[in-house]
Amino acid sequence: MQSAAAAERPTVLVGVAGGIAAFKALELVRLLSEDGIEVHVLPTLSALRFVGEASFAALSGNPVHTDVWADVHNVPHVSLARSADAIIVVPATADLMARAAHGRADDLLTATLLTATCPVILSPAMHTEMWENAATVANVATLRGRGIVVLEPAVGRLTGVDSGKGRLPDPAALAVVVRHALRGGSKADLAGKHVVVTAGGTREAIDPVRYIGNRSSGKQGYALAAVAAARGARVTLIAANSHLADPAGVDVVRVSTTSEMQAALQAAAPLADAVVMAAAVSDFHVQDASTTKIKKGSGVHPTIELAENPDLLEGLVAARTPGQVIVGFAAETGDSHTDAIEYGRQKLARKGCDLLVINDVANGKAFERDDNAVTIISADQEPVEVPLSNKEVIAETVWHLVISRF
């Protein structure tokens, strides 16, 4: 019987299907439990051939549910589904998704999925050929069409010597998706949309060792990408010089310089429904960067001549496709003439984007932090103030405003 304290905690069901990535579900269970979440694990019999029942029980602190014939008087597939605030299946194999897409209820996990009314997240893991097979593609489309969030698998090492798309995302990234669902993200309201997000800070070489850069960690852009994926979008994240773990369900394109980011945007943005420019893009590059390290001690003090980089946000607006929503970010500080918000309004008028997220970065705010406070402005709506919050909360607000413009 649950204690009163446990009853007040959100409940998450972690389904585990029979794939080699089942061992990663252990880390997800641990992370969710440490977050104060009541976790119940529903492995298939195949999953238990990879990971023992005792491991799931020890990390969750609850009995493991495996059999529709156990505890029959409580009708477990119904009672478990009704108790859940969210369900995530890690890994979701091709077989599990095929059975779920066709409404099969031939074990406790699929029967529970069939009775669930809470947010359901499937995190696929399989070989690339299985993920790209026409049957799997059709099953994923069917599940997404029903409002189930099916995350994109990561790219990386698979079983044996194989590499490719089909790897299970990092458990910490999956925990972010679950927390989003528990905050009320019950709708896959970006399903069917392709969004592009930029993150991090571009760097421009001075010589092979030194560069011009900025303090952006990429945390806000990564949060935007993670939340969009959790809301059902196909997400392309163009990441500049960030060392953060890849968000779950996101295709990551890594760049370094402004020109590389521009090329990546030119490839991805034309087919996107929305583009969010959260990256801190360098305004300048070195006119003639040295091909060898600049030495000191020669008595000569080198000078650096800067040239302007192209304005990526202005370029996006100029080339936008009909119906595309474009969001800019402005890292501003006030001065003796005006405040950060007014500078943001001036930037919005110059750039012509739909929304502009203004960060006041004075006094160590915004950069390299997990929280931020922003003001989101547009030409046709009242400003939206987001007080000091986790960057995932800011991301949710941005996507809510983007969706309102589709």
Number of domains in the chain: 2
Domain shared by 347 and 203, yes or no: yes
pLDDT for 185 equals 58
* Domain-located, residue 301: no
Mean pLDDT of 324-344: 86
* Domain-located, residue 259: yes
Domain stops at, among 159, 182, 205: 182
Domain shared by 397 and 318, yes or no: yes
143-179 burial, b at 16+ Cβ within 10 Å, e below that, comes to bbeeebbbbbbbeeebeeeeeebbbbbbbebbbbbbb
pLDDT for 3 equals 45
Mean pLDDT of 225-232: 91
* Domain-located, residue 297: no
Cα–Cα distance, 262 to 202 (Å, whole number)? 11
Residue 367: which domain range? 194-282+310-403
pLDDT of 234 > 50? The answer is: yes
CATH number of the domain where residue 148 is located = 3.40.50.1950
pLDDT for 4 equals 44
Q: In this structure, are residues 374 and 359 in contact, taking their beta carbons and an 8 Å threshold?
A: yes
Supply the residues annotated as catalytic.
Answer: 214
CATH number of the domain where residue 335 is located = 3.40.50.10300
Domain shared by 248 and 387, yes or no: yes
pLDDT of 1 > 60? The answer is: no
* Domain-located, residue 296: no
Domain shared by 148 and 210, yes or no: no
Domain shared by 113 and 159, yes or no: yes
pLDDT of 368 > 80? The answer is: no
Cα–Cα distance, 145 to 143 (Å, whole number)? 5
Domain shared by 163 and 229, yes or no: no
pLDDT for 361 equals 72
pLDDT for 186 equals 53
Domain stops at, among 155, 182, 209: 182
Domain shared by 165 and 224, yes or no: no
Range from 86-100, 236-250, 315-329, 334-348 carrying the lowest mean pLDDT = 334-348
* Domain-located, residue 9: yes
Domain shared by 139 and 209, yes or no: no
pLDDT of 117 > 90? The answer is: yes
DSSP 379: S
Mean pLDDT of 216-223: 93
Domain shared by 175 and 150, yes or no: yes
pLDDT of 339 > 90? The answer is: no
Shortest CA distance to 13 belongs to which of 258, 182, 246? Answer: 182
Domain shared by 19 and 90, yes or no: yes
The pTM of this model reads 0.83
- Position 369 confidence tier, pLDDT thresholds 50, 70, 90: confident
Cα–Cα distance, 343 to 336 (Å, whole number)? 12
pLDDT of 325 > 80? The answer is: yes
pLDDT of 131 > 50? The answer is: yes
Shortest CA distance to 111 belongs to which of 64, 60, 44, 53? Answer: 44
Range from 67-71, 278-282, 399-403 carrying the lowest mean pLDDT = 67-71
Burial group, residue 271, by CB count within 10 angstroms (0-12, 13-18, 19+)? exposed
* Domain-located, residue 246: yes
Domain shared by 207 and 170, yes or no: no
* Domain-located, residue 188: no
pLDDT for 302 equals 82
What is the average pLDDT value for the chain, to the nearest integer?
90
pLDDT of 293 > 80? The answer is: yes
pLDDT for 286 equals 94
Instruction: Give the phi and the psi of residue 197 in degrees, each rounded to 5.
Output: -125, 135
Mean pLDDT of 383-402: 93
- Position 68 confidence tier, pLDDT thresholds 50, 70, 90: confident
Cα–Cα distance, 361 to 344 (Å, whole number)? 12
Domain shared by 153 and 203, yes or no: no
